[in-house]
């Protein structure tokens, strides 16, 4: 095994223009969350992304006994407790039978004392269509403004979408979009889930992948996603392999180029994610809705790496602070 490339904080640094755009974007995130209950027609403030919760559950991360020696210091127990959230990526909650197949599988890992070790918000698409930080911030800002009925942002949004086209048209992006389209009607737990960007593992940098072991893709084909998922988790155990790729060089495993897959870095199984049947949490409970899966709340040696990832730190903080403030007020009124 070659020597892994070591983490350097320069991978995360934003330039001055990007910092200014981020501050503008944070204001639109707060505005969106403040109006989110009316946007989605619900009685609570929603997240700024992945607003729709399908289910939340408890699980266990079981560590592979044959873990490579280089990884053993990070996993000093046989298993770790998990809190899991399944969601849809849309900003607006829609009570529809058919959702776009943009699913989230957020994983929170805690130690035997209940202390947070790491958060990993995973999704069922391995790539991200934008490499430019400024383009992404301008696009996200315009989208937030549109949802809060600032129609003047429509043309700026379309302009940024046009600027995105070259980064969407890579071979890896097109191949994965075709794959997602062919699986668009498949059961939510039959998808693989990915970290998209890189994360630290000590001084190493990794990407994460969850691969379900045995799940029928046709499960719940005639049901709403939420109903099918909750019924499955009430009646079935679920197991997924937890795999990682390690960054060895930036040519083959780029940190800030998220529209291409890593190559020449084989997946290594580090364990299994297990959910015993009937381990569901009450997704309608206010405490469950207040859960945060901000990966920057993780221990320092498990945190995200990269410029796009860095944006998520500020976005998560603004979103969760605004959401919790409003929901605690609403919860107080309804108690």
Residue 94's Cβ-count burial label (10 Å; 0-12, 13-18, 19+) is: middle
pLDDT, residue 69, reads: 83
Tell me if residue 301 falls in helix, strand or coil.
helix
- What is the span of the domain harbouring residue 201? 9-334
- Which H or E run includes 56? strand 52-63
55 in any annotated domain: yes
Reading the block at residue 52, the tokens are 């729709």
1 in any annotated domain: no
**Could you tell me how many residues make up the chain?**
335
36 in any annotated domain: yes
- Scan for tokens 């297990």, then name that residue: 274
| Nearest in space to 176 (alpha carbons), one of 124, 241, 246 | 124
* pTM listed for this prediction: 0.89
Burial 3-17 (b: 16+ CB within 10 A, else e): ebbebeeebbebeee
Say if CB 122 and CB 296 are below 8 A apart.
Answer: no
Q: Measured between alpha carbons, how far is 296 from 155 in angstroms, rounded to an integer?
A: 33
49 in any annotated domain: yes
pLDDT tens by residue, the chain, 335 residues: 678 999 999 999 999 999 999 999 989 888 888 888 877 777 777 776 777 889 999 999 999 998 888 888 888 889 999 999 999 988 777 777 678 999 999 999 998 888 999 999 999 999 998 888 999 899 889 988 888 888 888 888 898 889 888 889 899 999 999 999 999 999 999 999 999 899 999 999 999 999 999 999 999 988 999 999 999 999 999 999 999 999 999 999 999 999 999 999 999 999 999 999 999 998 666 666 667 788 999 999 999 999 998 888 888 788 878 877 777 766 655 44
155 in any annotated domain: yes
Q: Read off the CATH number of the domain in which 153 is found.
A: 2.40.180.10
pLDDT, residue 216, reads: 95
Alpha helices in 187-306 (DSSP H): 225-235, 286-289
For residues 50, 53, 54, 58, the Cα torsion angle rounded to the nearest 10 degrees is 110
2 in any annotated domain: no
Structural domain count, the chain: 1
Say if CB 54 and CB 91 are below 8 A apart.
Answer: no
pLDDT, residue 222, reads: 87
pLDDT, residue 284, reads: 65
164 in any annotated domain: yes
115 in any annotated domain: yes
For residues 132, 201, 300, 135, the Cα torsion angle rounded to the nearest 10 degrees is 10
């Amino acid at each position: 095994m070659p020597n892994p490339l070591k983490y350097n904080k320069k991978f995360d640094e934003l330039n001055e223009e990007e910092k200014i755009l981020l501050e503008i974007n944070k204001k639109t995130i707060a505005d969106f969350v403040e109006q989110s209950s009316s946007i989605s027609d619900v009685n609570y403030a929603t997240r700024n992304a992945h607003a729709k919760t399908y289910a939340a559950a408890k699980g266990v991360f079981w560590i592979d006994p044959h873990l490579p020696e280089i990884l053993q210091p990070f996993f000093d127990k046989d298993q770790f407790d998990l809190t899991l959230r399944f969601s849809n990526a849309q900003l607006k909650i829609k009570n529809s039978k058919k959702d776009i197949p943009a699913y989230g599988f957020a994983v929170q890992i805690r130690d035997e004392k209940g202390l947070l070790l790491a958060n990993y918000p995973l999704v069922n698409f391995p790539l991200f269509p934008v490499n430019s930080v400024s383009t992404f911030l301008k696009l996200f800002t315009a989208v937030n403004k549109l949802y809060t009925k600032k129609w003047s942002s429509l043309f700026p949004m379309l302009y940024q979408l046009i600027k995105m086209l070259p980064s969407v048209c890579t071979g890896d992006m097109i191949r994965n979009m075709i794959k997602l389209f062919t699986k668009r009607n498949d059961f939510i737990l039959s998808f693989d889930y990915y970290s998209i960007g890189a994360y630290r593992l000590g001084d190493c940098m990794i990407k994460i992948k969850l691969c379900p072991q045995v799940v029928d893709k046709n499960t719940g084909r005639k049901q709403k996603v939420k109903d099918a998922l909750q019924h499955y988790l009430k009646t079935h155990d679920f197991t997924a392999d937890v795999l990682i790729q390690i960054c060895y060089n930036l040519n083959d495993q780029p940190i800030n180029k998220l529209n291409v897959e890593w190559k020449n870095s084989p997946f290594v199984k580090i364990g299994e994610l297990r959910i015993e049947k009937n381990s569901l949490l009450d997704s309608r409970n206010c405490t469950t809705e207040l859960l945060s899966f901000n990966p920057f709340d993780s221990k320092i040696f498990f945190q995200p790496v990269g410029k796009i990832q860095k944006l998520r730190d500020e976005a998560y903080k603004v979103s969760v602070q605004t959401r919790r403030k409003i929901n605690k007020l609403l919860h107080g009124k309804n108690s």
